[in-house]
Amino acid sequence: MLIGLLLLACSASAQTTNDTRLNQLRDSLPKGWEMEAQIQPWGDDEIPTLFLFISRIDSVKQLDINKINMDLTQAESLQERAKQEGKTIKLHITMKLEPKWGKAKLDKVLAYNDSIDTEIKELYLEYNIAELEKPHPLGKGQYVYDDSSLEKRVRLSAYNELSEQLRALKKPWPLYSSSNYSVFFYPDYMASQFRELYPAIAEIEEYQVIQLVTRILKSDF
């Protein structure tokens, strides 16, 4: 397996070089960022799979902190705290590439995932979850659940367990497309409300990269 992967890795760069959109993405990256194709084992069967990694060359410091509702006095000290207390990390974005899906495959997976969503909606009705929903105190269109009795807790727990089992059956869907590939985007970064990066420019750069992915690797369906 290792020898096979090494041989495949030699061709990973060549496989993406002839892709117009990937070339455009690479050439548009902010200064100090790089893009690299690698073939790595994937899944339980460790199938050799083509991945694209977009990384910031220089490391950053990350302070894990909840910034929601933080007052201005606290926020002003975050850069210094991140510099002194933050853990050193490498910013990167991961994408899995597959030979571009045709319309027939896209339609088949979409229909299958829709059928799973229908089953989840049927569970929602069967367990009468609407009866348990209450508006969240902070609003924002969210709900909390009434678990004031044993019966309600059992019902909610059963619904959550069964609906999660169904969601796990859904098949991955390529949100983006390059010239030659269907692109599966794995956002392995933390939302900005829950971290502080030093230097602060790194946060802006990462956002720019995500916007470039969205704009350049636009969906073909």
Q: Do 115 and 96 have their domain in common?
A: no
At 68, give phi and psi (nearest 5°).
Answer: -65, 130
Q: Is 46 helix (H, G, I), strand (E, B) or coil?
A: coil
Q: Do 6 and 112 have their domain in common?
A: no
Q: Tell me which residue has tokens 């750069």.
A: 205
Cis preceding-peptide flag for 172 (omega within 30 of 0): no
Q: Do 160 and 61 have their domain in common?
A: no
- Give the DSSP H/E element, type plus range, for residue 44: none
Domain count, the chain: 2
CB 114 within 8 A of CB 169: no
In sequence order, what DSSP letters do the residues of 164-195 get, joined into one string? HHHHTTSPP---EE-SSEEEEEE--S--GGGE
Model pLDDT, residue 110: 95
For the CA atoms of 29, 217, 94, 2, the dihedral, rounded to the nearest 10 degrees, stands at -110
Q: Do 66 and 150 have their domain in common?
A: no
Over residues 68-112, the pLDDT tens digits come to 777 777 777 899 999 999 999 999 999 999 999 999 999 999 999
Among residues 146, 167, 188, the one where a domain terminates is 167
Q: Do 97 and 123 have their domain in common?
A: no
Average pLDDT over residues 146-172: 95
CB 53 within 8 A of CB 9: no
In sequence order, what DSSP letters do the residues of 56-123 get, joined into one string? ESS-EEEEE---TT--HHHHTTHHHHHHHHPEEE--EEEEEEEEPPPHHHHHHHHHHHHHHHHHHHHH
Q: Do 81 and 185 have their domain in common?
A: yes
Q: Is residue 147 part of a domain?
A: yes
Q: Do 138 and 52 have their domain in common?
A: no
Q: Is residue 87 part of a domain?
A: yes
Q: Tell me which residue has tokens 């397996």.
A: 1
On average, the pLDDT of the chain sits at 88
> Is residue 2 over pLDDT 50?
no
Q: Is residue 14 part of a domain?
A: yes
Q: pTM value?
A: 0.79
* Two tokens, residue 207: 């956002």
**Share above pLDDT 70 across residues of the chain, in percent, rounded to a whole number:** 89
Least confidently predicted of 9-18, 47-56, 86-95, 141-150: 9-18
Integer Cα distance of 75 and 70 in angstroms:
7
Over residues 199-209, the pLDDT tens digits come to 999 999 999 99
Q: Do 86 and 134 have their domain in common?
A: no
> Is residue 3 over pLDDT 60?
no
Q: Do 28 and 70 have their domain in common?
A: yes
Average pLDDT over residues 50-57: 95
> Is residue 221 over pLDDT 90?
no
Q: C-alpha 206: how far from its chain's center?
A: 13
Q: Do 80 and 53 have their domain in common?
A: yes
Q: Is residue 81 part of a domain?
A: yes
Q: Is residue 221 part of a domain?
A: no
Q: Do 75 and 111 have their domain in common?
A: no
At 40, give phi and psi (nearest 5°).
Answer: -135, 155
> Is residue 180 over pLDDT 60?
yes
Q: Do 21 and 96 have their domain in common?
A: yes
Provide the residue range defining the domain that includes 146.
103-167
